Amino acid sequence: MALILETPRLALREFGLGDYDDLCLMLRDAETMYAYEHAFSEAEARAWLQKQLDRYAADGFGLWAVLRKETGALIGQCGVTMQETGEGEVPEIGYLLRKDCWHRGYATEAAAACRDYAFETLGFDRVWSIIRENNLPSQRVARRLGMVPCGRMVKHYYGIDMPHILFSVRRGEENAGRAESE
């Protein structure tokens, strides 16, 4: 599959059906999926993968497989997706990594590359991350990307109302808030 992005340690490419087992190392793990309140079932994981394939066809982008260049191992997903905020659709930078790859800077590295891709290649002037209120590690990643809180919304998922914080950054302001958050 074609390479979309490359960083010093990571390569991002589109998912394929053959990535299902590796994707399940994240989606079917309750600890990794704590922000979703449950590990995905087999049907939910298959639907998640199909949704990415559908996004590539419809939008030309979506969540991409994140690979460690050193080993070629699929360690997560990161990319740009269109998400509803209640005030319209916005381009969101989303990221999720296997738990054995947390706290190594991979999420920030991949998400920064996706932010830049959204600005430079896709032509967006502003990008968002929609993060559950209790997901402090993801909020720290957003702040490292120069994002600042700009609103709130509640997602109703899996029978639960889940408060989320909207973070965003405009093109050209990526480095404005970074020094304060590091």
pLDDT in tens, 53-112: 999 999 999 999 999 999 999 999 999 999 999 878 999 999 999 999 999 999 999 999
CA distance 126 to 60: 18
pLDDT at 113: 97
The stretch 146-162 carries a mean pLDDT of 88
- Contact of 95 with 22, CB cutoff 8 Å: no
Looking at every residue in the chain, the average pLDDT score rounds to 90
Q: What phi and psi values does residue 3 have, to the nearest 5 degrees?
A: -75, 135
